[in-house]
Amino acid sequence: MTSSIPSMTKPSVSRKACARIPTEFGDFQLCYYSNNVDTKEHLAFFMGDIGGSEPVLVRVHSECFTGDVMGSRRCDCGEQLKHAMALVAAAGRGVILYLRQEGRGIGLLEKLRAYNLQDQGYDTVDANLMLGHEADERDYTLAACILADLGVQQVRLMTNNPSKIVALKNQGVSVVERVPVEIPANTDNAGYLLTKLKRMDHQLHLEPAAGDARDIQPAN
């Protein structure tokens, strides 16, 4: 993530407003955060009492317009988001951070360009590299700031990505458990999931046939 402030400035967030959001999984609170690093609208979506020393279910979800909003089958992002909401609802408490880091941080325009490269046969990692980006450009500094603001002391992180756990721990977040968020593959995203497994070290359990499908989605 590119910062618009001097590197010596300590990143910080400010909670601007919260509102009740009724969903199919129950009532959540949605909080809007501003910050001194970028101009993006990062959000916290939570349920129940999340303060105190008891570990809290947390999903740090990077924005995916195509999957979260349009229901694209090129990825598992939208389904992961819904699954995380269901897990939080079942537990009665938990947090979903919605970070505006589309396409692993490269933005929607570049993500669409990466899609076109993937349709030509390149995988999601190589497509990003061919466009001059890193395989993953996301930053979790603001996630740590928001969790601190919410009073979350220990995290049961809903993720398949070990690198996300390391990144959050490097920001001082106490991650005490990994909770899998595995979604069954479909014919459009099986190759993409296989690339996550083989090239990005995600902890997934895939059927052997997964390698038969094309890899056509930047990872979330």
The three-state secondary structure class of 122 is coil
Question: Tokens 């995600």 correspond to what residue?
Answer: 202
Catalytic choice (38, 136, 139, 215): 136
* Burial of 100 from C-beta contacts in 10 A (0-12 / 13-18 / 19+): middle
What gap in Å lies between CA 100 and CA 152, rounded to an integer?
Answer: 21
Q: Which of 146, 62, 72 is nearest to 99 (CA)?
A: 62
**Inter-CA distances, 173 with 8, 14, 141, 146, 170, Å:** 21, 18, 10, 11, 7
Q: Which of 170, 184, 202, 177 is nearest to 79 (CA)?
A: 184
Question: Tokens 């402030």 correspond to what residue?
Answer: 5
- 136 is annotated as an active-site residue: yes
What gap in Å lies between CA 134 and CA 91, rounded to an integer?
Answer: 36
Catalytic choice (59, 74, 104, 138): 138
Element (H, E) at 15: strand 13-23
What gap in Å lies between CA 179 and CA 60, rounded to an integer?
Answer: 12
Active-site residues: which are they?
136, 138
